[in-house]
Structure 1
Amino acid sequence: MKALTWHGKSDIRCESVPDPKIEHGRDAIIKVTACAICGSDLHLFDGVMPEMRSGDVLGHETMGEVVEVGADNKKLKVGDRVVVPFTISCGECFFCQRGFFSGCERTNRDFKKAQEMWGHSPAGLFGYSHLLGGYAGGQAEYMRVPYADVGPIKVPDGLSDEQVLFLSDIFPTGFMAADFCDLKGGETVAIWGCGPVGQFAIKSAFILGAERVIAIDTVPERLEMARASGAITIDFKDEDVYERIQDLTSGRGADACIDAVGTEPDTASGFDAVIDRMKVATFMGTDRPHVLRQAIHCCRNFGTVSIVGVYGGLLDKIPMGSAVNRGLTFRMAQTPVQRYLPQLLGRIEKGEIAPTFVITHRATLEEGPELYKTFRDKKDGCIKVVMKP
């Protein structure tokens, strides 16, 4: 089969790889009908995440048709259309039983590496390094889905692939970002990053009761999409973000701040972002937390900082004195997708949100390697790429 594979920094190829096979009774094999390039994939493209190996199949936003099921899988049958969460979860362990599916204790085959790096291991993830299980991803013609009687959700008749594909990651992640803000109604929420996750965070914040959303980015197409969703926008190259948020909130700060950027902010966002990049380049640091620093400073006393941008290692010069003395709450996670799937599918069916609004590019797998570059470089108005093998 054809698949997009990783061969080093900035080296993504579309090539032939072996077809996946049933390895466990709870497995399923799906024929991929739609998949997408995620902003998190760009961290792999840029060589930021460790433990990638040449030939690894990429992708964790995937859906398709079931073509084979293991003998112990009683949930799915051949012909079912399903969306596959990027988090692989057993459904039975301490964390899965409590709804914390991305903390699954059983699915990370490389848990010892993760434990050494982070203290404890999270769940395994599709297409995201041998720190998180080394599972082949879904930017391919076919994909093996472990624990397929827990993760995938069946797609109702009448909904297209593009309407439901983003239930695999970016819609639940953006919704979780807003959910973490514990909105009661009437709040001001500031969101850093107007990529796909940020766009869903904007929509979700309004759905959950925010009165105002402030969206921070510098890419014109992203800012325009944010405005179309009702957000007030700040171009960080043209305005001082802290001062503008102070003006908009009468000096109080935002009720909640969402970091939807993570470890690779634009170096034009501030002098500290330039220093962070120098530290990473000279192996004096692992991550570049400019956005998190700014979110802390812009959040009101006893507000919430919600973190859904990807960080991998150690963060330097975080203003914990500000956070502690002003009573901030931090919420963060890899998204326990299965926890959110039923209600978000319901919102799509009711017409509360049409997830297709973020799609700007549709392509084949063969076009994928070039579109990784286009997406990373923010060219051609690229916000979200959907591929159909």
Structure 2
Amino acid sequence: MKALIWHGKHDIRTETVEDPEIVNPRDAIIEVTATAICGSDLHLYDGVIPGMRAGDILGHEFMGRVVETGSKSNLRKGERVVVPFTISCGACFHCSITQYSACENSNPAEKQDLSATVYGHPMAGLFGYSHLTGGYSGGQAELVRVPFSDVGPIVIPDHIEDEEALFLSDILPTGWMAAENASIGPDDTVAVWGCGPVGLFAVQSALAMGAARVIAIDHYPHRLELARNLGAEVIDFHATDVREALMELSGGIGVDAVIDAVGMEAHGFAIDNMIDIAKQKVGIGYDRASALKQAILAVRPGGRVSVPGVYGGMSDKFPVGAVMEKGLEIRTGQTHVQRYLAPLLAMIEEGKLDTTFLISHRLPLDRGPEAYRNFHSKQNEWTKVVLRPGSESGEGGRAGAGAMPAAAERAQ
């Protein structure tokens, strides 16, 4: 089969590799019909996530058709499924309380020491995201083995198009959990740092949860326009002092909740961020936490801080004093995807959530390396890339301004 293979920093290749096989009775083999490049994949592309090895198959946002099952899988051949990026056993303590991304059994025992040394406890297994998370092959491929297939995947009805359902694998539930972790109330003003895919879904989710105002912060004009189209007010951090603007917009109190959807590769010319950039480039630091620091300083006393953005190591000059003195609540973590699949699928079917508005490019899997380069370097234009294994030409390049989501087409 063909797959996108990591060979090092900024070195992604399309290669032919061995097809996956059933190795456990709970496994299933999925023929991938759609997969996407996630913003967190760019951390792998930039070489700032530890535990990657040359030859690893990338990708954790994917869906497809079941082509083979183990004897204990509850899936059937031919079913269309979306697969959560979190691999979860369904039986351990954390799975029993729906903390699926903290599963105790999905990271193979021989790899658990890698993440336990760094984070104090072993991480759960994730598709296509380093050997810290189990070294599982990802879904930017024609075929993928899905462990614990009786727990993770959700069957998609035929009337739902691939692109409507695909982002259930990660970024839609991640944006939703980010808003949920912010404990949004009907009178709240919420600020979201980053208008990438997760940030945009966090904006959409916060508004769906009843936030009075959502303020989106970025510097890419097109991404800010997408946020504005969702109903957010916007701040261009290159043109405006963010903290001053948020204080003015909140009547001098500070916003009620903040969401850091940027993570470990923040942009900006603040002195602490420039130092973090230099450390990251020479390999003596992992995280650029400028957005998170800014969010902590901007939220009101007693406010809530939600962090869906990915962080991998240590951060210098973290404002822990502000966290304590302001009495802030911080909630973060990898997304408990399985918890949200059914309710979010229902909201998609009911037309309450649009999951297609941010797709800018559709390409065949063979053009994956090109897609990575452009998604990395042209983030204003390349807001989200969907790759189609088996396609020779994709389904068009950039989605036009008049492109209509499939849900809207069906409604007419």
1:158-184 per-residue CA deviation (whole Å, 9 max, x = no partner) reads 000000000000000000010001112
Report what 1:80 is aligned to: 79
Paired residues of 1:51 and 1:130 also in contact (CA < 8 A)? yes
1:16-51 per-residue CA deviation (whole Å, 9 max, x = no partner) reads 010000000000001000000000000000000011
Distance (Å, rounded) in 2 between the aligned partners of 1:281 and 1:166 = 31
Give 1:1-389 correspondences, 5 Å limit: 1-73=1-73, 75-109=74-108, 110-268=111-269, 270-378=270-378, 381-389=381-389
Query: What SS class does the counterpart of residue 33 from structure 1 fall into?
Result: strand
Paired residues of 2:125 and 2:133 also in contact (CA < 8 A)? yes
Paired residues of 2:37 and 2:384 also in contact (CA < 8 A)? yes
Shift of 1:333: 0.7
Query: What SS class does the counterpart of residue 370 from structure 1 fall into?
Result: helix
Shift of 1:284: 4.2
Aligned length: 387
Distance (Å, rounded) in 1 between the aligned partners of 2:374 and 2:285 = 27
Distance (Å, rounded) in 2 between the aligned partners of 1:361 and 1:86 = 21
Paired residues of 1:374 and 1:380 also in contact (CA < 8 A)? no
Paired residues of 2:94 and 2:104 also in contact (CA < 8 A)? yes
Distance (Å, rounded) in 2 between the aligned partners of 1:182 and 1:122 = 25
Distance (Å, rounded) in 2 between the aligned partners of 1:135 and 1:280 = 26
Distance (Å, rounded) in 2 between the aligned partners of 1:337 and 1:322 = 31
Paired residues of 2:301 and 2:326 also in contact (CA < 8 A)? yes
**Letter of the 2:275 counterpart:** I
1:297-343 per-residue CA deviation (whole Å, 9 max, x = no partner) reads 10011000000100001121111111111110000010010011111
Shift of 1:353: 0.8
Shift of 1:379: 5.1
Paired residues of 2:175 and 2:198 also in contact (CA < 8 A)? yes
Paired residues of 2:58 and 2:137 also in contact (CA < 8 A)? yes
The range that moved more, 126-135 or 313-322, is 313-322
Distance (Å, rounded) in 2 between the aligned partners of 1:265 and 1:117 = 22
Query: What SS class does the counterpart of residue 356 from structure 1 fall into?
Result: coil
The range that moved more, 379-388 or 216-225, is 379-388
Distance (Å, rounded) in 2 between the aligned partners of 1:379 and 1:202 = 18
Shift of 1:380: 6.6
- State percent identity of aligned pairs: 56
Shift of 1:286: 2.4
Paired residues of 1:267 and 1:277 also in contact (CA < 8 A)? no
Shift of 1:282: 4.2
TM-score by length of 1: 0.98
The range that moved more, 221-230 or 274-283, is 274-283
Give unpaired runs (5+ residues) of structure 1.
Answer: none
**Letter of the 1:218 counterpart:** H
Shift of 1:281: 3.3
The range that moved more, 187-196 or 278-287, is 278-287
Shift of 1:186: 1.8
Paired residues of 1:285 and 1:316 also in contact (CA < 8 A)? no
Distance (Å, rounded) in 2 between the aligned partners of 1:8 and 1:338 = 31
Shift of 1:275: 1.4
